[in-house]
Structure formats: structure tokens, C-alpha cells
Amino acid sequence: MLAGKKGLIVGIANDKSIAYGCARIFNREGAELAITYLNDKAEKHVRPLAEGLGAPIISPLDVQNEDQMDRLFDRIADQWGKLDFVLHSIAFAPGDDLHGRVIDCSRDGFLTAMDISCHSFQRLAKRAEPLMIDGGALLTVTYMGSERVIDHYGVMGPVKAALESATRYMAAELGPKNIQVHAISPGPLLTRAASGIAEFNTLMNTAQSRSPGRRLVTIDEIGELAAFLASDRSRGITGDVIHVDGGYNIMG
């Protein structure tokens, strides 16, 4: 499904990461991958996974570091000359702001959460656009807390709502270049990012008990959707928030 395609994966922290599940399916479907890690501490967890997928580009990327982002895309341009898809699967809010009320969130905390979790997707897209010479796909990861109030999700709810809105506007702007933009909305999974949310085990138990199949989705199932969206088979879809949560979102 992805034979001959080149993709950038941002957001692998370990083998439980949604981004890793997606990368594994991208690789299975024939894509060649560039994989990033946050910093030296993260590298020891990410590099073995990237090497296991045969990634020819393994690079540090702190999305708040513009020079580092420029170097990454320069390397992709030099080595590949094109880019077919990008997966953005990162989110962050400072702990004090994440665990408090939305109205108590500090200005700096809100701006940090928006910058890393939302605006970084736009910055990646801006750099990817000229490399998507044959069109392409930009994928990001959101959550149902953007649509309704989820206990303990806090400031990430408004931030993910902004991310979904950005997805729609980016889809409209990039559509004439045959670039699709998608927001994938998985059900709750115990990832490193999710572990920072208070009472997350309760959230997972609720999702499992209320979803039609009475189970949680897996990172591989999320990857199957992501691979379809990154492929030419999904060219009629853009700008949508696509749930992959076992139907939990329909249960009210």
C-alpha cells in the first residue's frame, strides 16, 4: 500500500507509543521512514526501534528548536528529494497546568501546550509542503477530549480542539496541491504521554466498558488507519477527524 513512499514520523517515545504502532504498519506496507527522537535521553529508547524498522534517517527533533527542524528537513531533501507523508503524534502541557482547572492554566503553560501540541504540526507542514512534489498526507493525533469534557483532561481539551480546527484549515489550503490533512482520534491507550493525565486508568476502564466491543483499540489498529490515510487509496478524504476507538465516541 505504501511501496516507494517516504514518511516522517515524529512522536515515538517507546514501543508503546501510538507513533511506533503507526511506524510499524507503515514499514510493513513498504514505506521508507525518517524517525525522530526528542533528546539524548529518549534516543536510547527510540533508536533501536527505528533501526529495527530499517529507518535510513534517525534524527533528534525538539519541535521548539527551529534550527533542529530545519536541519532535519534539509537532510530529508538531500537524501530523498521528496516526502510523501508526515505523522505528528506529540502533545505536552506542563504538569501544574495540565492537572489544574482550565481557567487556572498559566499563560506560559497554555502557550507551551499550544506550541508543542498544535502549532508544531503547522510548522512541520510548512516544511513538508515543498517536498510533497507528488502530493501527500499530513497526519496528526487528537482525542475526544476536544469534543466534550473529559475528566482530568484539562487544558489539553482546548488545545486538541485547536489542533482539529487547524487540520481543517490546512486541508483547505493544501488541497489544491493534492496534499491531504487528517486528524486521527484514538481511544484512550496507556502511552507515556497519557500517563501524565490524572486518573487515566479510570478513563481507560470506562472506555473499555462502554465501547461496543468492550475493549480498547491497539496501536497497530491505529497504524492500520494511518497507513490507509497515508496511501493513495484515501485521496477522497481530507480535513476530517477520524475516530479509531472501537465506537466509544458514539456512546454519549
Q: 20 catalytic, yes or no? A: no
Query: Is 93 marked as a binding-site residue?
Result: yes
Which three cell numbers mark 133? 512534489
Query: Is 58 marked as a binding-site residue?
Result: no
Q: 248 catalytic, yes or no? A: no
Query: Is 193 marked as a binding-site residue?
Result: no
Q: At what angle do helices 18-28 and 219-230 cross, to 10 degrees?
A: 50
CB atoms within 10 A of CB 210: 14
Query: Is 11 marked as a binding-site residue?
Result: yes
Cα 19 to Cα 122: distance, rounded to the nearest angstrom: 18
CB atoms within 10 A of CB 149: 9
Element (H, E) at 230: helix 219-230
Cα 118 to Cα 90: distance, rounded to the nearest angstrom: 9
Query: Is 232 marked as a binding-site residue?
Result: no
Rg (CA), the chain: 17
Partners of 37 in beta bridges = 60
Closest CA to 207 of 159, 145, 160: 145
245 to 184, 208, 219, 234: CA distances (angstroms): 10, 10, 11, 19
Query: Is 90 marked as a binding-site residue?
Result: yes
Instruction: Go through the chain and tell me how many residues it has.
Output: 252
Catalytic residue of the set 20, 143, 169, 248: 143
Catalytic residue of the set 20, 37, 153, 248: 153
Task: Please report, in range form, the residues annotated as the binding site for substrate.
Answer: 93
Task: Please report, in range form, the residues annotated as the binding site.
Answer: 11, 17-18, 62-63, 90, 93, 160
Task: Please report, in range form, the residues annotated as the binding site for NAD(+).
Answer: 11, 17-18, 62-63, 90, 160
> Active-site residues: which are they?
143, 153
